[in-house]
Amino acid sequence: MGMTMTQKILAAHTGLEKVVPGQLIEADLDLVLGNDITTPVAVNEFNKTGLDKVFDKSKVAIVPDHFTPNKDIKAAEQCKMVREFACRMEVENYFEIGEMGIEHCLIPEKGLAVPGDLIIGADSHTCTYGALGAFSTGVGSTDMAAGMATGKCWFKVPSALKFVLKGKPQGWVSGKDIILHIIGMIGVDGALYKSMEFMGDGLINLSMDDRFTMANMAIEAGAKNGIFMVDERTIEYVKEHSTKPYKVYEPDEDAVYDKVYEIDLSQIRPTVAFPHLPDNTRTIDEVGDVAIDQVVIGSCTNGRIEDLRVTAKILKGRKVKKGVRVLVFPGTQNIYLQALKEGLVEDIVEAGAVFSTPTCGPCLGGHMGILAKGERAVSTTNRNFVGRMGHVESEVYLASPAVAAASALTGKITDPDKIK
């Protein structure tokens, strides 16, 4: 019985020739990640060890992004604690305001994640780096503390689901639509503690930004991780962003999967997740008449340059509908600068939207766009649970940047093809 991509990476980092699903292992870590919400708890636990340094100051990354720029005194105190810890431990990859970004956009951009890496992060969307052929997964703050102290973490080896992608997406369909389609198909627990492994001829038709979006939302199907086969596009991205050594792991021909899904990308329509779960999906043709109050475009799911290009393409020369608030959040400072150079920021602002500094703020209902009772938002973020972005009686509809931008113009959830 052969191994999957994930199982091969775990075996390599454990020093074993083979691992099997359900096996408990202790693996070496290539990167330990935290943010301004999860790191303070980890710091408290780390301090209990009595250690005066982390296992490797080049393999710890801390990114204040959730409540930054600081939204209140409590957030400021948390960030101060994180800042002082990073300074004391001489953490090389600490990204303060000015060089920061949304962590899961920033880490690949900085070249800190490459194929074959084993990465843990005290944030559930750490699974994003599977787009690069790495094993990356979210953990609790205590696991982050132990990882910073020892450079190791315990895992139960996951079984896997195989997704064979075929064909080419049509029209405005993007990685967001594809992953929403898949989550709608298998459910929010359809991949519970499994590895979602993406491969097939259709990969060539997915950009790296598409893949980051899809890997990012693997957790919304309950997955331990999402991971893509490495191809020329992956290697091109890695060479552009990183000097780290990397290793490509491909699944064995006789690798065992719990289930195999074949996805014809050409048949997928723009897809929207209705409240209050990511698997409550409908195609744009099934949405009906849903009026909205706010549009959020950005986050670790859809705050990359391609997302801003699509947004600007739809908004350019048009005006946001009166009464609709549109908030746009680039994933990193570099993405922000690229959007400025390309004129995207001007097109978006002139249409009547607000362009913000990189932050996770509105996604988790933290700041920069909280919803009031009874309000509805179309959002390119990753979760639409009850109260996720504000009042428990507000509603969040998850969609792609194309659908979100089109909806901003009409004041209701709209097919981008209907914008003339």
Element (H, E) at 277: none
For residues 403, 364, 42, 70, the Cα torsion angle rounded to the nearest 10 degrees is: 110
Burial status of residue 285 (CB atoms within 10 A of its CB: 0-12, 13-18, 19 or more): exposed
**Alpha carbon distances (Å) from 130 to 115, 134, 207, 228:** 8, 5, 14, 6
Q: Could you tell me the pLDDT band of residue 386, with boundaries at 50, 70 and 90?
A: confident
pLDDT at 218 over 90: yes
Residue 236 CB contacts under 8 Å (≥ 6 apart), including other chains: none
| pLDDT score, position 143 | 96
| Mean local confidence (pLDDT), 255-270 | 97
Which fold does the domain 5-264 belong to in CATH?
A: Aconitase; domain 3 (3.30.499)
pLDDT at 420 over 80: no
Residue 414 CB contacts under 8 Å (≥ 6 apart), including other chains: 284, 403, 406, 407
Q: What is the identity of the amino acid at 80?
A: K
For 131-154, the pLDDT digits (tens) are 999 999 999 999 999 999 999 999
| pLDDT score, position 334 | 95
| Mean local confidence (pLDDT), 229-243 | 96
How would DSSP label each residue in 104-138? HHHHHHTT---TT-EEEESSGGGGGGGGGT-EEEE
Pairing of strands 281-283, 271-273: antiparallel
| pLDDT score, position 365 | 81
| pLDDT score, position 255 | 96
Q: Which residue has the higher pLDDT, 66 or 14?
A: 14
Q: Domain residue spans in the chain?
A: 5-264, 273-418
| pLDDT score, position 97 | 85
| pLDDT score, position 361 | 80
Distance CA(77)–CA(151), nearest Å, equals 27
For the beta carbon of residue 324, count every other beta carbon within 10 angstroms.
21
Which fold does the domain 273-418 belong to in CATH?
A: Aconitase; domain 3 (3.30.499)
For 330-381, the pLDDT digits (tens) are 999 999 999 999 999 999 999 999 999 998 888 788 888 899 999 999 999 9
| pLDDT score, position 271 | 97
On average, the pLDDT of the chain sits at 95
The CA-CA-CA angle for residues 360, 362, 365, to 5°, reads 110
Pairing of strands 160-166, 259-264: parallel
Distance CA(215)–CA(208), nearest Å, equals 10
Q: Could you tell me the pLDDT band of residue 53, with boundaries at 50, 70 and 90?
A: very high
| pLDDT score, position 363 | 78
* Pair of tokens at residue 240: 């552009």
Burial status of residue 209 (CB atoms within 10 A of its CB: 0-12, 13-18, 19 or more): buried
Percentage of residues in the chain with pLDDT exceeding 70? 100
Cis preceding linkage at 69, omega within 30: yes
Residue whose tokens read 């064909």: 167
C-alpha 145, offset from chain centre: 22
Q: Answer yes or no: are the C-beta atoms of 377 and 298 closer than 8 Å.
A: no
3-state secondary structure 194-240: CEEEEECHHHHHCCHHHHHHHHHHHHHHCCCEEEECCCHHHHHHHHH
| pLDDT score, position 273 | 97
* Pair of tokens at residue 204: 């060539």
For residues 160, 166, 170, 176, the Cα torsion angle rounded to the nearest 10 degrees is: 10
Length in residues, the chain: 420
For 156-209, the pLDDT digits (tens) are 999 999 999 999 999 999 999 999 999 999 999 999 999 999 999 999 999 999
* Pair of tokens at residue 250: 């491909």
Handedness of CA 389, 128, 210, 288 (dihedral sign): negative
pTM to 2 decimal places: 0.94
Distance CA(331)–CA(103), nearest Å, equals 8
| pLDDT score, position 176 | 98
pLDDT at 300 over 80: yes
Q: Confirm whether 5-264 and 273-418 share one CATH topology.
A: yes
3-class SS of residue 75:
helix
